[in-house]
Amino acid sequence: MDSGMRRIAIGAMGGTIAMMPDETGGGVTPSLTADDLLAAVPSLTEIAEITAVTLAGAPSPHLTMADLVAAYQFCVAQAECGADGIVLTHGTDTLEETAYFLDLVWDRDIPLILTGAMRAPSEPSADGPGNLVAAVRAASCPELAGMGVLVVANDEVHLARTVAKTHATATWTFASPGWGPIARLAEDITVMMRPARRPAALPVPDPRQVKIPVLESTAADDGWAIDAVAHDNPDGIVLASLGVGHLSVPARDAAVRAVRSGLPVIFASRTGAGPTLTRAYGYAGSESDLLDLGLIGAGYLTARKARLLLHVLLCAGHTDLAAAFAEYGA
C-alpha cells in the first residue's frame, strides 16, 4: 500500500557514523550495518519510507575508486527503482571527495545527500543519528532537487562543489569556505541559495587507478618534489600552489619541465578558499606566467577536487583540459 511518504534509499559506506569500540578497548572500527544505523533512529520511518543497504563497512581512508563507482551504481539503481532521494553515509575524512566525484557524474535531479559523523555512536554526544535524520529530511525535500550532490551535517546543507572538512574534530567541521551553506534545517528546511549553473555530468570513469599526485608548494620550494614525481610516470600532477596560483621560480621551472614532457599540470590555491586568477600578477611563477607556460588553473576547486576532475576527464579522453577546467572550476 502506498504510504504517501517519500521513498528514500540509504547506502551505508562506513565511517565513524558506523564505528564501535571492540572488546579489546582499542579505538573504534567500522562494525555497524545500514540496518543498525536505522535501528538507532526509529523516528526515521516516520519521515520517509526507507530502503537501507550496506555498501562498504570501511573507514573512508580505505575506500577505493572502485567503491566510489559502486556507490554511483547503487544510486543509479535506486533512482531507477523509483527512489525520491538517496542518502549515503560515509566517513568524514574523504567525504567531500566522494561527494564531488559523484557530483561530476550524477545526472539525475533527485537529491543525493552524503552525511557522516565526527563522534562514534558509543560517545554520549554522538552526532550520527541527528545527521542521518537531517540527511533523510533533506533527501525528502523537493526544493533540494536538481542541485547536484549535497552534503548535510550539523543542520546545514552544502554543495559538493564547495564543501570541505575544515576541522579535525569539531562537529561543525563541514563548511563551504568563501561561500557558506545553501540551506539550513530547523523545524523546516530553508533553502537560501541555488547554484546559478550545474555543469553537465561527465562519463563515469572505469575504476582503474589513475596516478595523479597532489603536491603542496611551500615557501622556498626548490621544485625537487615536482621533478621527482614527474620522473615516475604519473598521469598528471596537481599543485596546491600559493595564493591565487603562484610558485617559486624553481618550482615553476620544474612544473614547466613536467608540462613539456607531456603531463597535464594543474595549479589550485592551497589557501582552501577562493579561485586561482588569470591576469592579476605578471612575475615569473605568477598565475599569468604559469598559464602562458601551459599549466592549467583549477579555478575555485581545491587541489583534492581538481585531482578528481582531472581523473574523470582523463578517463573520458578529454583533450581540451584547460577548457574543461574553465567550465568545471568556475
Q: Could you list the residues that contact ligand ASP (CB under 6 A)? A: 15-16, 59-60, 91-93, 116, 118
Radius of gyration in angstroms for the set of CA atoms belonging to the chain, rounded to a whole number = 21
Of 92 and 276, CB closest to ligand ASP = 92
Residues near 300 by beta carbon (within 8 Å), at least 6 away in sequence: 161, 162, 178, 274, 275, 329, 330
Shortest Å distance, C-beta 136 to ligand ASP: 18
24 is known as an active-site residue: no
206 near 159, Cβ under 8 Å? Answer: no
Q: Which residue is nearest to ligand ASP (CB)?
A: 91
284 near 232, Cβ under 8 Å? Answer: no
Shortest Å distance, C-beta 137 to ligand ASP: 21
For 109, the 3-state DSSP assignment is: coil
Give the C-alpha separation, 30 to 297, whole Å: 38
Shortest Å distance, C-beta 138 to ligand ASP: 19
For 215, the 3-state DSSP assignment is: strand
Cell digits of residue 97: 571527495
Using CA atoms of 21, 24, 30, 33 in order, give the dihedral in degrees to the nearest 10: -80
What's the Cα-to-Cα distance from 43 to each of 46, 84, 122, 130, 204, rounded to whole Å?
5, 19, 19, 11, 35
Shortest Å distance, C-beta 54 to ligand ASP: 15
Shortest Å distance, C-beta 104 to ligand ASP: 21
Of 93 and 253, CB closest to ligand ASP = 93
Which amino acid belongs to residue 89?
T
Cell digits of residue 217: 608548494
Of 81 and 170, CB closest to ligand ASP = 170
Of 127 and 287, CB closest to ligand ASP = 127
Of 173 and 241, CB closest to ligand ASP = 173
- Among 16, 54, 89, 162, which one carries the catalytic annotation? 16
What's the Cα-to-Cα distance from 288 to each of 244, 279, 282, rounded to whole Å?
10, 5, 6
Shortest Å distance, C-beta 15 to ligand ASP: 3
Of 98 and 286, CB closest to ligand ASP = 98
Cell digits of residue 120: 562514534
Q: Which residues are catalytic?
A: 16
